Amino acid sequence: MRLQFPLKHLVSVFFLLVFTQINAQIFTPVKWTSRVEKISANEFSLIMEGTIDDGWHVYSQFSHPDGSMPAVVKFADAKGNYILSGKTSEGKTEKEFSEAFEVEETFFTHKALFKQKVKITNAALTKIKATVEYQVCKDRCINDEKAFTFDIPKVPAAAIAPATEIPETAVPADTAKAEEIVNDTVKKSTTVKSGDTAGTPKKGAPQSLWLIFIGAILAGMLATITPCVFPMIPMTVSFFIKQSGSKSKGKFNAFFYGFCIIAIYVLISVPFHLFEKLDPNMFTEISTNVYLNLFFFVIFIIFAISFFGAFEITMPNWLANKADNASNSGGLLGIFFMAMTLIIVSFSCTGPALGFVLGSVLSTDGGATILTFAMLGFGLGLALPFISLALFPSLLKNMPKSGGWLNTVKVVFGFIELALAFKFLSSADLVLETHILDRELFLAFWIAIFGALTLYLFGKITLPHDDQLSHISVGRMLFGLLTLAFTVYMIPGLWGAPLKMISAFPPPQTYSESPDGFGSNTAGALPVLPEGAVYGPHHIVSFEDYGEGLAYAKKVNKPVMLDFTGKTCQNCRLTENNVWSDPKVLAMLKNDVVLISLYGDSAVELPESEKYVSKATGSEITTVGKKWSDFERERYQSNARPYYVLMGLDEQNLNEPIAYTPDIDTYYKWLKDGVSRFKK
């Protein structure tokens, strides 16, 4: 008798097996190797290198702590055996702004390299154990760890020096050896989002080189329409055209004059390249330095008050006089000193704009190269009117005349400087976590500043150097309407609106007096939380312990939705912000299931009685996060986050679990299918 099995059934079984394999498997996108390199008789480099699968990326130790989980490198039993020479250094990394966390993140693609120098203090030592805990992400995120055992060559007793503690110094970039292993060029790539793949450049990232360059050009061009610079443009261009003997020579001299302006600003950035070579971590430390951010806050406040007309910031007169005298020497050298004279005497107007460029770049960890690009852009923006009008002198007669409108421009700059000052104060507050400048207070300051700017533009506020107005111009009125609209746009932010247009400036929603948002949608929330429950995203009643959540589900006779998530999981946040917020999905999460959110990156230490060794990996489970990660791995053969499971009260799956699913309809159908099966 021949057994009949229809082809369509074979196809169905095949796709079922494939789908199950896709949604429930252990991902190992990083393959690790290690080695020991000898430096001296008792000094060694311990090197851990990971090969990362295409499309995945591993976060650096030095990635922003408010973003995805940074890597952590730990060394065991150092006391009495060896000394760590500074912190673990790294190979080359890439940077990208994360819209989900609103911070710049640092990560590896293709190759991850960690290198630690050690000095042996125990001649009998033969092995050193280390562990790297890391997060690797693509369309899902995995928290993993890798244990290493380094075999240490025999160290002569005579080479052992008395133990001396070596101060730790963060070293985010490795030396020449690391640079051989990892590509020299820091490439811009995206933090993976819906529809993205790693390695695809993300257009419009706030810290991109070209955006900073273009912004600096605009700042330079805006600086030319201030009272200190604008009147000098026609005078300078006319001088070159009339005094050079011929039109061609006049144009060349004007062009060289503009080139000198650009060159002087670029030269300002040169010392930072030297500082960066002495300390490669300089810009990283600057970006989070509390005192530097406070310094910029004070400087911007001073610049703003100066622009309002309270006083004028000028360079020393002797410096301007020397530059002016040198400009009389003639020739190309004289033109160079003419450019320097312009920069010095116009500092009271260009200084705040230049301070904005310097402050914006130095408060990031972009490096001296980005600073040079920014200074190049600022110099180019300032020089463009001089060069353009020298090449096309007929345009001179079309230039607007100097007048009170120039002071209006200067005052507007003052309001903008005042608003940006609070960005630096906020950065310092976030690092210290003092909560002095929470999100609501920050927005209140911005609303007040741009509200006052609106009143100024409508002529309701006048400042010391303003002309008396009988009317306002059409352009001024339109700009006033723009600032009024922006002010009104920010007001809902006080009650928790996301304000995506300015998300890079105010503190995140979690850093506020009301993290869930005052007046947020609490429909479906219980008046009294069940024991062990908390309010999760969108005020969904959630449990963070499996046993407590399951017990409550049995009590209310509802299915369970397991949410394997992480505090530093970007795709988890994207799902919560973009999918869970949909009204039909949110209604089901609040009313039809019991949500249990298990954080795989929680660092809360388990009680000694609850610590154990994982059957799946052999690793010691010591934290709440490791416990839930091991639970997911052992029960569902998955280590991805996010990972969603719908199960009945018998702890059996109602349908196939799913990973990161950005499509709202797909997610809703999956939820509805599981709940319907439970009710049957």
Structural domain span for residue 633: 533-679
* Domain-located, residue 521: no
| pLDDT at residue 88 greater than cutoff 70 | yes
Residue 449's pLDDT is 96
Is residue 549 domain-shared with residue 665, that is, in the same domain? yes
Is residue 141 domain-shared with residue 220, that is, in the same domain? no
The total number of structural domains in the chain stands at 3
Contact assessment for residue 404 and residue 471, using Cβ atoms and an 8 Å cutoff: no
User: pLDDT for 442-490, tens place per residue?
Assistant: 999 999 999 999 999 999 998 888 888 788 889 899 999 999 999 999 9
* Domain-located, residue 502: no
Q: Provide the Cα torsion 511, 517, 522, 527; round to 10°.
A: 60
* Domain-located, residue 226: yes
* Domain-located, residue 416: no
* Domain-located, residue 263: yes
Contact assessment for residue 523 and residue 590, using Cβ atoms and an 8 Å cutoff: yes
Question: Which of 193-197, 213-217, 396-400 has the lowest average pLDDT?
Answer: 193-197
Is residue 274 domain-shared with residue 370, that is, in the same domain? yes
Is residue 177 domain-shared with residue 213, that is, in the same domain? no
User: pLDDT for 138-176, tens place per residue?
Assistant: 877 888 889 999 999 888 877 675 544 444 444 444 433
Is residue 224 domain-shared with residue 169, that is, in the same domain? no
Residue 22's pLDDT is 40
Looking at 405, 434, 465, which one is the last position of a domain? 405
What is the mean predicted confidence (pLDDT) over 21-36? Answer: 75
Is residue 261 domain-shared with residue 352, that is, in the same domain? yes
Is residue 175 domain-shared with residue 248, that is, in the same domain? no
pTM for the whole structure: 0.47
* Domain-located, residue 439: no
Describe the crossing of helices 290-307 and 404-432 by its angle, rounded to 10 degrees. 160
Q: For residues 488 and 525, what is the distance between their CA atoms, to the nearest angstrom?
A: 30
Largest CA distance in the chain: 111
Is residue 214 domain-shared with residue 362, that is, in the same domain? yes
Number of helices and strands (H, E) in the chain? Answer: 19, 18
CATH number, domain containing residue 39:
2.60.40
User: pLDDT for 536-581, tens place per residue?
Assistant: 877 889 999 999 999 999 999 999 999 998 776 767 877 887 889 8
Q: What share of the chain is helix, strand, coil (3-state, %, to 5)?
A: 45, 15, 35
Looking at 356, 386, 405, which one is the last position of a domain? 405
* Domain-located, residue 67: yes
| 518 against 493, higher pLDDT | 493
Is residue 73 domain-shared with residue 111, that is, in the same domain? yes
CATH number, domain containing residue 605:
3.40.30.10
Is residue 382 domain-shared with residue 337, that is, in the same domain? yes
Is residue 276 domain-shared with residue 134, that is, in the same domain? no
Omega of the bond leading into 642 within 30 degrees of 0 (cis): yes
Looking at 405, 437, 466, which one is the last position of a domain? 405
* Domain-located, residue 492: no
Is residue 549 domain-shared with residue 652, that is, in the same domain? yes
Q: Which residues contact 46 (CB under 8 A, 6 or more apart)?
A: 34, 36, 115, 116, 117, 118, 128, 130, 148, 150
